[in-house]
Structure 1
């Protein structure tokens, strides 16, 4: 048996159970772990669906409640609210435990769904979407944190892969579900979440009873929250996201002060936030600088940022290829994109199994970025007559890169950090991942719109050129089928050339990610872990559940314990 690493001081780890976990064969599951894991997958699935479900139903929704001019905010208010509180969720999970924050996240998501579904004006709809997003951000972060609490680092890969796969499928089928529901009653686009969240809340109440070290008073607990840091961070990120998302839109050119000012304020505010977090004035930072001091952890944050950029670019612009070049409907472009989402499942599963068996993750990062580079490069050769086998096969290759990187990166990022930093590190990781998604859409849009403008001289008709110029090509992608020849062929050629150049940009991003993998150092993935947030043996009584799930028993049910 290999030599056991000593447990950190103050650990509540069950020594017997830790010894048993030295051998992979002793790792077993209780019914509570399975219940919690399946519920977390379900919550992740629903939250990811809602990030894209509005896209196909938005025209119908705005016709009924108004706000056609505010369609960008209807879609992006969810993204804003989902992303900016993620580091805060990580911190409050340490202060208030895992159970209470996930209750709050589920309730916020459900409340927002009810408000959005019952909206009678655009203001109420945007409010509902914002509240939904606040809940969704907590679901993303807390799902990863709870998995890390329950599963030792060596065995986390398959569980991370499953959550990633359900999220990827949800994001992909969101537009399909939204389009189908909107044809019957658009309000069920949002109301469908309510019964599902109810089931999730009940299951969490019954199964998730996680220990944590309570503060002596609520006042003491609140004093630990990084309120000032988040007062700097949240408006800073809103300003930055506003500039990145609105830049290049109609009426908001990149050179406009309305875009430049938020971007400058966002960058300056972000710098001020990190200065404050590193200062002695911040007693308990929500994004501590120690997370970035180990090269493996710092590299992990950078890798997930780059991988998210690539994934979002594919998610935004592969459907444009199907609609503009292949002539499919928006709904069918979503169906054509399914190979990318579905292929993540086997690749993520292979990555998780490989890590569990070998404890290695660097080879997965190498292969993942290599596949991403090859996949993006292959997308650049797609054209109007490309076969179905070609665009399906190319998606599978690119999806393989995404599945490997996303599965292997959180375990590697946490490997160099103590278990006490799992929550804040996961909150930071989740935020960096979401920030990468925003950058991916922005970078791809800048590259695509710029290349459309470069090749507009191919189109003979001035009216059509004006429709495509300065960002119009993205919205116009589904309207090509009504164009007569030769104008249709000319416009398709513009899209082909613009998309080709766009994909080559992301070949470069993937190559950068590949080079960065050589910076990280291998840190052993432990087969045991010492955490203050293990499952309590005793399920809470009704009174104890109302008080946050505190049990009278100090013992913990260790996940790897043989029953």
Structure 2
């Protein structure tokens, strides 16, 4: 689809992707706070509305600017959908129930993301639709979004958790909206969006539109970095009993600084960042390999992407078993998934360079299995580590996934474009009226019209360019393997209908957590001494003890009160 679109509207492939991922990435945490303040139903309808408007603009685009505006609005709307889905599944659920709900969500994600580039039917449907017209790819989400909005209103509305400003008897909608605006972390929101956005723009510009040492790139990096540091400083000062919190007592931090008190927060962020890069490499740049290096059409390239789907499915199913059946833990699927993903992408890179299409398909599936192994366990591990802050933690992790996608697209796009242009310039002029472009990506029609010898050289150049694009992001994948080694562990427990009736069995089947390094505790044999109840369970037990003590005082006091009048007679 991308090649058809860029040919017709004469724009850059990278900006089609970046316009979407820029808003998708920067607005994810805001969607979590929106759901917390105004409720899940309002947040879902808000997101679906902007997806609809953005899709309409894209389908009707008459200029490159109109298309990019539509893509940006699509990203704004889509920013909270997956995040809100995870949060809604966690509302009022135990860790075991959360595990089951996320298992179902992971298995049907292929259908839910048909309008986006993720795994499942999306690449195939998009490939066939784009052969008729790329506009049809954007018409499809409009109908899906409208149906979703109706289902949310008529089926889900009464079941969803209300927000902090939920309407009560006598309150007007306008009053609730205004009171909610006072709770939103406006300074943090602005600093976060501008800071992250400028850094993404710098990565997007570097090496393509501007040199890495140019003023535009350096200024974006410096200002964006300063705003990000200022954002985290502001969130810290917005904590309880701190300076900003005393000045703005109604405001709630978008990303509470307390989340970073535990090492697993940063480690899970790195793992989700790597997963975003893996998804981008599998769908955007493998597509470039099939089309430019192997000469496949858009529909054929879309079909080849389905080799990633069985891998994701196998990984998700294995994770489902490891979390729900045995050993009911999150550490093993996270570690195994990180290693499998890293090995799969490394070998995929090698076989791209030698143009072995069979092995490319095999290791595309292997990399998918590694990614699929981690999709659900990341959510459950975060819910166990921060069982009392699931919404904030989920928003943070949901931000890291598209951030990895955005950085991956920018870095891989810059490397691919530069390498491809360099390699094309080294190919002798094919003659016969043909002249290879000195820069940019040639159209598929142009490549098909080249003489056989020149076409073969261009295809080899494309394969090498894709290889270097993959090499550029492999270090991030390696970091995720290291991060998974230092994780703690979360024991899921069992769902409510499976719990036994004795106190001992109940205690054994509740969720448990180990905050330290699980592998280190395993080697030292100190798992039992480091394993703890989830924070949410400790809070519940604390409240139950208070109630028991109060009840005991009442039971003792009653005989005394009834006895005293008798004694006075």
Regarding TM over 0.5, the answer is yes
Q: Superposed, which structure 2 residues align to 1:374-413 within 5 Å?
A: 374-382=343-351, 388-413=357-382
Q: Please identify, of 217-226 and 434-443, the stretch whose mean Cα deviation from structure 2 is larger.
A: 217-226
- 1:409, 1:325 → 2: CA distance? 35
Check the 8 A contact 2:183/2:252 in 1, yes or no.
yes
Alignment CA distance shift 1:503-1:142 (3 Å): same
How much has 1:402 moved relative to structure 2? Answer: 1.0
- 1:114, 1:343 → 2: CA distance? 34
- 1:323, 1:184 → 2: CA distance? 17
- 1:182, 1:450 → 2: CA distance? 27
- 1:392, 1:116 → 2: CA distance? 32
- Does 2:150 correspond to 1:202? yes
- Does 2:338 correspond to 1:373? no
- 1:444, 1:459 → 2: CA distance? 22
Q: Please identify, of 488-497 and 354-363, the stretch whose mean Cα deviation from structure 2 is larger.
A: 488-497
Alignment CA distance shift 1:425-1:484 (3 Å): same
How much has 1:205 moved relative to structure 2? Answer: 1.9
Alignment CA distance shift 1:211-1:390 (3 Å): closer
Q: Counterpart of 2:2? A: 55
Check the 8 A contact 1:324/1:478 in 2, yes or no.
no
- Does 2:475 correspond to 1:516? no
Check the 8 A contact 1:372/1:507 in 2, yes or no.
no
- 1:190, 1:297 → 2: CA distance? 36
How much has 1:167 moved relative to structure 2? Answer: 5.4
**Could you report, residue by residue, the CA deviation over 1:445-475 in whole angstroms, capped at 9, with x for unpaired residues?**
3444565577678634499998366xx3x55
Alignment CA distance shift 1:257-1:507 (3 Å): closer
What is the SS of the residue equivalent to 1:224? coil
Q: Superposed, which structure 2 residues align to 1:11-410 within 5 Å?
A: 55=2, 57-59=4-6, 62=9, 68-69=10-11, 73-149=15-91, 151-154=93-96, 155-156=99-100, 157-162=102-107, 164-166=109-111, 170-171=116-117, 173-174=121-122, 176-182=124-130, 184=132, 187-208=135-156, 209-212=159-162, 214-215=164-165, 218=176, 219-249=178-208, 251-279=209-237, 280=242, 281-282=244-245, 283-357=251-325, 358-382=327-351, 388-410=357-379
Check the 8 A contact 1:459/1:465 in 2, yes or no.
no
- 1:302, 1:203 → 2: CA distance? 35
Check the 8 A contact 1:84/1:237 in 2, yes or no.
yes
- 1:188, 1:112 → 2: CA distance? 14
**Could you report, residue by residue, the CA deviation over 1:135-187 in whole angstroms, capped at 9, with x for unpaired residues?**
11122221121122265323244134225444566515545434544555654
Alignment CA distance shift 1:120-1:287 (3 Å): same
How much has 1:303 moved relative to structure 2? Answer: 0.9
Q: 1:467 aligns with which of 437, 440, 452?
A: 437
Check the 8 A contact 2:282/2:364 in 1, yes or no.
no
What is the SS of the residue equivalent to 1:337? helix
Q: Rg bigger for which structure? A: 2
Q: Counterpart of 1:19? A: none
- 1:257, 1:462 → 2: CA distance? 39
Q: Counterpart of 2:511? A: none
What is the SS of the residue equivalent to 2:211? coil
- 1:345, 1:368 → 2: CA distance? 13
Check the 8 A contact 2:6/2:12 in 1, yes or no.
no
**Could you report, residue by residue, the CA deviation over 1:525-563 in whole angstroms, capped at 9, with x for unpaired residues?**
35579xxxxxxxxxxxxxxxxxxxxxxxxxxxxxxxxxx
Select the structure with the greater relative contact order (CA < 8 A; seq sep ≥ 6). 1
What is the SS of the residue equivalent to 1:284? coil
Alignment CA distance shift 1:119-1:326 (3 Å): closer
Alignment CA distance shift 1:385-1:477 (3 Å): farther
Q: Superposed, which structure 2 residues align to 1:479-518 within 5 Å?
A: 479-484=446-451, 486-518=453-485
Alignment CA distance shift 1:298-1:86 (3 Å): same
How much has 1:98 moved relative to structure 2? Answer: 0.8
Check the 8 A contact 2:448/2:455 in 1, yes or no.
yes
How much has 1:188 moved relative to structure 2? Answer: 3.8
Check the 8 A contact 2:204/2:411 in 1, yes or no.
no
What is the SS of the residue equivalent to 1:363? helix
**Could you report, residue by residue, the CA deviation over 1:227-250 in whole angstroms, capped at 9, with x for unpaired residues?**
11111111222222222223332x
Alignment CA distance shift 1:318-1:293 (3 Å): same
Structure 2 residue ranges without an equivalent (≥5): 169-174, 246-250, 497-569
Alignment CA distance shift 1:528-1:293 (3 Å): farther
Q: 1:417 aligns with which of 386, 389, 402?
A: 386
**Could you report, residue by residue, the CA deviation over 1:487-545 in whole angstroms, capped at 9, with x for unpaired residues?**
4444444344444444444444333221211211113335579xxxxxxxxxxxxxxxx
What is the SS of the residue equivalent to 2:341? helix
Check the 8 A contact 2:7/2:443 in 1, yes or no.
no
Q: Counterpart of 1:35? A: none
Check the 8 A contact 1:161/1:348 in 2, yes or no.
yes
TM-score between the two structures when normalised by the length of structure 2: 0.73
How much has 1:422 moved relative to structure 2? Answer: 1.9
Alignment CA distance shift 1:466-1:233 (3 Å): farther
How much has 1:88 moved relative to structure 2? Answer: 0.8
Alignment CA distance shift 1:465-1:300 (3 Å): farther
Alignment CA distance shift 1:462-1:263 (3 Å): farther
TM-score between the two structures when normalised by the length of structure 1: 0.74
Check the 8 A contact 2:188/2:254 in 1, yes or no.
yes
What is the SS of the residue equivalent to 1:517? helix
Q: Please identify, of 87-96 and 329-338, the stretch whose mean Cα deviation from structure 2 is larger.
A: 329-338
**Could you report, residue by residue, the CA deviation over 1:292-330 in whole angstroms, capped at 9, with x for unpaired residues?**
221222211111112222332232322222223222224
